[in-house]
Amino acid sequence: MQIDRIGAVRTDLGECPVWDARKQTLWMLDCRHGRVHLVDPESGHSQHFELPAPLGSIALNGDDSLVVALKEEVGVFTLSTGVLRRVARIGDSHPNLRLNDGTPMPDGSFVVGTMHVLREPGQEPLGGLYRLGPEGSFERLDSGLGVVNGPTPHPSRPDFYVCDSAARCIYRYRMDGAGKLSARERFIDTNPYASAPDGCCFDSEGGLWTALVHVGALARFDGEGRLSHRIELPLAHPASLCFGGPALEDIYVTSIRDSGRLVALGPLDGALLRVRGSGFHGAPIPRCRVRS
């Protein structure tokens, strides 16, 4: 297995890698600073766009825009014009509450969750899990989640998975044809791995990958929630991952240098890594179709 640094991008809170299969490029965020980076993995060249910080996540939307999770709003950012249009807002507001990870869905919608940190003991988290429909509808799907990370639909089954990093748990929902979710069930407890789960993605065989953010590793779980593979990384805090490359054969990993709660000052902390030779290929990711 080969692990390399890609380009010179170095983030404080590197999150949400998104592979553009049409252009063979990678999008990623530095959430603390409101930067959206576009990286060419072959040359290492990158450019970035400035948006209001903090950012939570992005998703490709059609051919010329991104769906963007801002602090308490979701927007559509048009790349050719640089115009950001806010299209939805969550109902809760708090200094320690913001939108976090999100994912495009097969129906063109965008599902995104919140993180509510520094809560008092026993205090229920505000926010939850939300769906932005292609036509602009916005609804809350679930609540009671402390730090939503890695929401992702299963590539071949009507299941939907969400990490609550505060609970060190990955939950599974059943999803009906209208995108409604069943009550969540505990799928994986990551306490035995000494870490919370962070970003997630699926491979083409239905294996669920997550970043073990506290122990510098990636983990793959099979359909029964059993650990099947673990990859140690040369950095302290991997935050998220996605598959990329011409055949989705590579794994791209974003990382943390200073998230405000996690700090690491090694030479690769905050860098973008590429893992080659895992033996797996990624499941294709849809694009959103949210009208701006």
Is pLDDT at 178 greater than 80 in this prediction? no
Annotation says 269 is catalytic: no
CATH number for the domain harbouring residue 188:
2.120.10.30
- Global pTM? 0.97
Q: Is 191 annotated as a binding residue?
A: no
DSSP letter assigned to residue 57: E
Range of the domain at 43: 2-276
Q: Is 96 annotated as a binding residue?
A: no
- Please count the structural domains in the chain: 1
Q: Which of 30, 159, 164, 198 is catalytic?
A: 198
158 Cα distance to chain centroid: 20
Residue with tokens 């495009």: 104
pLDDT value of position 179:
77
In a domain, 162, yes or no: yes
Is pLDDT at 177 greater than 90 in this prediction? no
Residues 7-28 have pLDDT tens digits of 999 999 999 999 999 999 999 9
pLDDT band (50, 70, 90) for residue 123: very high
pLDDT value of position 253:
99
- Kindly report the backbone phi and psi dihedral angles of residue 191, in degrees, each rounded to the nearest multiple of 5, phi listed first: -55, -40
pLDDT value of position 57:
98
Is pLDDT at 111 greater than 80 in this prediction? yes
Residues 205-264 have pLDDT tens digits of 999 999 999 999 999 999 999 999 999 999 999 999 999 999 999 999 999 999 999 999
CA distances for 152 relative to 36, 80, 116, 202, angstroms = 21, 28, 20, 8
DSSP-derived pairing of the beta strands 83-89 and 73-78: antiparallel
In a domain, 265, yes or no: yes
